[in-house]
Structure 1
Amino acid sequence: MQDAAYIKRRDEIQTYFDRTALDAWKRLISTEKVSGIRATVRAGRDAMRSAILDRFPHDLTGWRILDAGCGAGPLAIELAHRGADVLGVDLSPQMVSHANEALPAIRNGGSVTLIAGDMLAVEHGEFDGVVSMDALIHYNALEAAEAIAGLARRTSRKMVFTLAPRTRPLVMMQAVGKLFPRGDRSPTIQPVAIDRLLTQAVQRNDMQGWTRGASTRISRGFYISVAEELVRS
């Protein structure tokens, strides 16, 4: 059962993507030309997606993978092309509906299923791997740590997820967002002290057997995110 703070934050994010940002995100993930901030975000997300894919074998036959916070599903689709059976879960029913309308044929025996829901729900079952790109960045350190531990309990091999590093530019942007709140702006990114969060996470009793792997930072203008890897021995 998720705590009240997580549920409140989850519902805020769903409201943003379903009621405010869907059209903007459709343009961002499309091939149409964008400019300014959107161009840096698109470039950063493309680079981050490649960095996450680099953490997995090219042959994922036999793997079941959860894409937690899948958005329009590009990462899930690439993993499925490598032979994995991928379940993508996103809070936004409209985003998932848009993604399902454009799903390509999957190569190499893999499969992809995209559904709307809570990425942490135990009903999704168990997985060999978990990816989560730019979903945990909207939760504070405690909520993110709990989410990671919850996913780890149902994952047998590895998890790769992104976090927002606690840097001066991100902290300043967060502060400005709080000073000038707007109902239609993106849910605030929550910068965290990544090393401390993950050090404490792998020391938890329910995280025994997990060790920290490689880290990759992507910085493209307004896009600043770090991919972290946890591996189960």
Structure 2
Amino acid sequence: MNTLDDKAIVKDYFNATGFERWRRIYGDGDDVNKVQLDIRKGHQQTVDTVLSWLKEDDNLADISICDAGCGVGSLSIPLAEAGATVFGSDISEKMVGEAKQRAKATLKDDSCVTFAVQDLAALSGKYHTVVCLDVLIHYPQEEAEKMIAHLASLAESRIILSFAPKTLCLTLLKKIGELFPGPSKATRAYQHREAEVIEILQKNGFTIQREGMTSTRFYFSRILEATRTSD
């Protein structure tokens, strides 16, 4: 499959059957099964880790943040609530629509957060921090490298990424899962070697500062924070 196919599949999935599934997972209702509940908890742990990192500097009110692949606003909204100026984008129109609704319902003033339907590769501008959570899993290594390089070009100071790490255990679990396809599952899920992700970041002028790992029964996410290397 080429890049266009991957993007088209992701876009169609999150605008159709995938939207309702992930809207429930990223919500707080009871209409989820045990697997979905586990994924919800794992995703929230990743969001909480990133939030804690960003809040540690105690400067959210002074910085701009790009949340690339914002989904329903799970990270963008609490960042805006904490005072940051946030631009959230997603390839899915339905996801962005849900994010806007949640922002209006949650924030007293939603003027500090903007949501847009946009392909990650088309993002432009400069931001103090660029965050991209649980997006790279949808794309193979070659495309992921291009995405990381582009996101790095937007980040003035820091970039935070999460991805499904490529390990023997997770590779075996993925193969087992592929034997039991479900109608609401995404078509493809890609793992990435941490060393290769770090190498891409270094090639684009960034140095790893912090690492994190979220691991539940059905959700695995490696988190890297990198800052721009001083000249």
Band of TM-score, shorter chain: 0.7 to 0.9
Matched, 1:19 2:21: no
- Counterpart AA for 1:28: I
Separation of aligned partners in 2, 1:10 and 1:86: 24
| Equivalent residue number for residue 105 of structure 1 | 107
Separation of aligned partners in 1, 2:197 and 2:134: 16
Separation of aligned partners in 1, 2:95 and 2:145: 26
Shift of 1:152: 0.9
Gaps in structure 2 of 5+ consecutive residues: none
- Counterpart AA for 1:193: R
In the TM superposition, what are the counterparts of 1:1-233 in structure 2 within 5 Å? Answer: 5-33=2-30, 34-56=32-54, 57-103=57-103, 104-106=106-108, 111-122=112-123, 124-176=124-176, 184-199=184-199, 201-204=200-203, 207-208=204-205, 210-233=206-229
Query: Across the two proteins, how many residue pairs are aligned to each other?
Result: 224
- Counterpart AA for 2:107: A
The list of structure 1 runs, each at least 4 consecutive aligned residues, that deviate by more than 4 angstroms after superposition, is 176-184
Separation of aligned partners in 2, 1:179 and 1:220: 21
Deviation digits for residues 121-159 of structure 1, max 9, x if unmatched? 14x311111111101121122221221111111210101
Q: Quick check: 1:29–1:42 contact (8 Å CA) kept in 2?
A: yes
Q: Quick check: 1:58–1:82 contact (8 Å CA) kept in 2?
A: no
CA 1:40–1:98 in structure 2 vs 1: closer, same or farther (change >3 Å)? same
Shift of 1:49: 0.4
CA 1:169–1:84 in structure 2 vs 1: closer, same or farther (change >3 Å)? same
Separation of aligned partners in 1, 2:151 and 2:108: 26
Identity among equivalent positions (%) equals 29
Deviation digits for residues 81-105 of structure 1, max 9, x if unmatched? 2221111101110111122122122
Shift of 1:180: 6.3
TM-score (norm 1): 0.87
Separation of aligned partners in 1, 2:155 and 2:177: 35
Question: Per residue, is there more helix in 1 or in 2?
Answer: 2
Q: RMSD of the TM alignment (CA)? A: 2.2
Q: Quick check: 1:216–1:226 contact (8 Å CA) kept in 2?
A: yes
